[in-house]
Chains A and B, each alone.
Chain A
Amino acid sequence: MQTAVPLDYRSLVDARAGTVDRRIFSDAEIYRAEMERIFARCWNFMCHESQIPQAGDFFLNYIGEDSVIAVRDRKGGIGVFLNSCRHRGNAVCRAESGRVKSFLCTYHGWTYDLEGKLVGVPGYKGFYHEALERDKWGLIAARVENYKGFVFATMDPEAPALDDYLGEVGRVGLSMAAAHGDVAVVDGVQKNVLGCNWKLAVDNLFDWYHVQISHASAPMSGYLPKLPYKDEDQIVSLGEYGHAISGPRSTPEMREAAARASSEVPLFDERWRDTPEALAALGPVGVASRGHPNIFPNLWIASSGVQLCLRLPRGPFATEIWWFTLLDRNMSPERRRASVQRMNHTFGPAGMLEQDDGENWSQSTLATRSPVARRHPLNYSMNLGRGHIAETQPGLPSIETHINEHAQLWTYRAWADWMTAADWPALKRDHAMPAGVV
């Protein structure tokens, strides 16, 4: 049976009613369009530069469903290339990280250097008669840019510069990670796969409403101390192209109290926010915002910036969750060890918090497939029509309110803009601006 696909994506996200059509989480045609219109067009997080410090160091990642290689070249630059030989398409890199001198295709031996150039073709003289224009058959290269060590890539030549793409909301979000000092990725990117649509995973990162129920077992078992935040005092910052930061306000008093409350390494030691460097990078609203940033579409900056969580679509009904952990290189060994253990215990598939999330999202995803359930939209109406956007800090339009669903609905509005726009010029012209009342 064929499902008729509505081409009017904006009708699937009703920002006035605060509803989202369930079909966007399960329709195969919509998923395919997302790969083209969002992932092949946006800036995608690849890695932190500390993961590939030396020439030939590489890390495999994805742009949507396209496998790509992020690699350090001999001049110190970072390139991102499609992991597909130009001859028959075979992967030219099969290890997920490591160090190479070049990329050898194991099918017929076409070889590419660290800048993606085709430098070796067996039988170039004898079989190709030197007619193959090797300079035209290098690996497909992405545009690569770096913000404070965070490497992003896009396959769209019309995409704006990364800095403009991120805007102040995205830059403040990434700065929350960079502000922890001379940060480097701790070895071991945790990866697992969930049976959910990628958007329901992204949706959850702004969700401070679920904590008391989804994660009830964490305080009950004694793992999580009482959260030093207030549900009734939250900050939401909304950015162009779908970036957002949402969650509780953190004050200097809360930070002191939280740090004092714990003997070892506090889960909530956020006194880094009280440094002049943090204030310069984040501004007063950013410093006070303990919320979770998302760099649209799928990079969550978690744990107050110490961890990044990437949500990679694997078909409409599966998502890979990748956790990157960053710590200051100058941290004492004891503190580093305690911090690593805290991260290991909190998030990741065995995390005391994260274990309980996945089934909620996969059951939600299941209920977007069946014919009757999918007729009924999901509800994102919390605080709808009461979110007054003010720009007290330039470039950071923000709402001060209680727990709400503004950032989720903003993400879906942006999603509809991305899906509607035929190309980057159209998206630049026609996308929701964070202003007024939402």
Chain B
Amino acid sequence: MPDMLAPAMAPSLALRLEVESFYYDEAALLDQRRYREWLDLFTDDTHYWMPVRRTKASNQLDGEFSRLGDMAFFDDNKAMLTMRVRRLETGYAWAEEPPSRTRHLVTNVRIVAAEGERITAESNFHLHRTRLASDENNWIGLRRDVLQRSDGLLRIAARHIFLEQTVLLAPNLSNFF
């Protein structure tokens, strides 16, 4: 089997494994509610964005998502993300009090571009949440990240989250993607 792997593939395979490991570790932090450590995975100038999605005719799919700068579900810089984490720490963030149970499944990791220390990666996610006795939500979609390597560590310089929902089938978005 190793013989069948062209030597030229090795660097890209190593990169994909590195990015996958990064995502698995990130998912573990979120599911263990280690939000402060999760914040450390973002660059200081990050942008965390989830546009609004619409049902559009096939000839008007360029308007399927709201554009950057217009209305969005998330439109956060690092300070805003930090504020969200601080909110969860207050004990008065009722949407997460008692806290939800989440599981982040990350699959289909693809390195879309790699230029120097900047990598663009796409991944599919399934965020499963249960709350209280029987509340359940599922969010499935695509993340497109720009990952920046500095001092040998990957950081998220931009995360764009594209949900497979138009009317959001949930009472809130109190968890992270």
Smallest Cβ distance from B52 to chain A, in angstroms? 4
Quick one: which of A186, A221, A355 contacts B90, CB cutoff 8 A? A221
Structural contact, A221 and B87, CB atoms closer than 8 A:
yes
A187 touches B93 (CB 8 A): no
Q: Is A32 an interface residue (CB 8 A)?
A: no
- Are the C-beta atoms of A188 and B72 separated by less than 8 Å? yes
Residue ranges of A at the interface with B (Cβ–Cβ < 8 Å): 94-100, 186-195, 214, 216-218, 220-223, 320, 323, 325, 336-337, 340-341, 343-345, 348-350, 352, 354-356, 358-360, 362
- Given contacts A340-B69, A352-B84, whether A188 and B52 have CB atoms under 8 Å apart is yes
CB–CB A349/B66 < 8 A: no
- Within the assembled complex, what's the spacing in Å between the Cα atoms of A336 and B68? 12
Q: A212 → chain B, closest Cβ, in Å?
A: 10
A/B interface sample: 11 pairs, CB < 8 A? A97-B54, A98-B60, A188-B71, A191-B166, A220-B92, A221-B86, A222-B86, A349-B173, A350-B172, A356-B94, A359-B95
CB pair B168–A191 under 8 Å, yes or no, is yes
**A217 interface neighbour in B54, B74, B90, Cβ under 8 Å:** B90
Query: What 1/0 mask marks residues of chain B from 38 to 68 whose CB sits below 8 Å from any chain A CB?
Result: 0000000000001110111100100100110
A405 to chain B, nearest CB (A): 21
B57, B60, B76, B167: residue with the most chain A Cβ atoms closer than 10 Å: B167
Q: Nearest residue in B to A188 (C-beta to C-beta)? A: B71
Query: Which DSSP category, helix, strand, loop or mixed, fits chain A's interface?
Result: mixed
Q: Which residues of A contact B169 (CB under 8 A)?
A: 192-193
Q: How far is the CA of A343 from the CA of B90 in the complex (A)?
A: 22
* Residue B80 is within 8 A (CB to CB) of chain A in the complex: yes
Q: Smallest distance from the beta carbon of A197 to chain B beta carbons, Å? A: 14
A188 in contact with B70 (CB, 8 Å): yes
In the bound complex, what is the Cα–Cα distance between A189 and B73 (angstroms)?
Answer: 10
- Asked if residues A96 and B168 are in contact (CB atoms below 8 Å), the reply is no
Report the separation of the CA atoms of residues A186 and B52 in the bound assembly, to the nearest whole angstrom. Answer: 12
Which of A98, A186, A216, A345 touches B76 (beta carbons < 8 Å)? A345
The distance in angstroms between the C-alpha atoms of A195 and B52, with both chains bound, is 21
Partner of A191, one of B57, B86, B95, B167: B167
B31 on interface, CB distance cutoff 8 Å: no
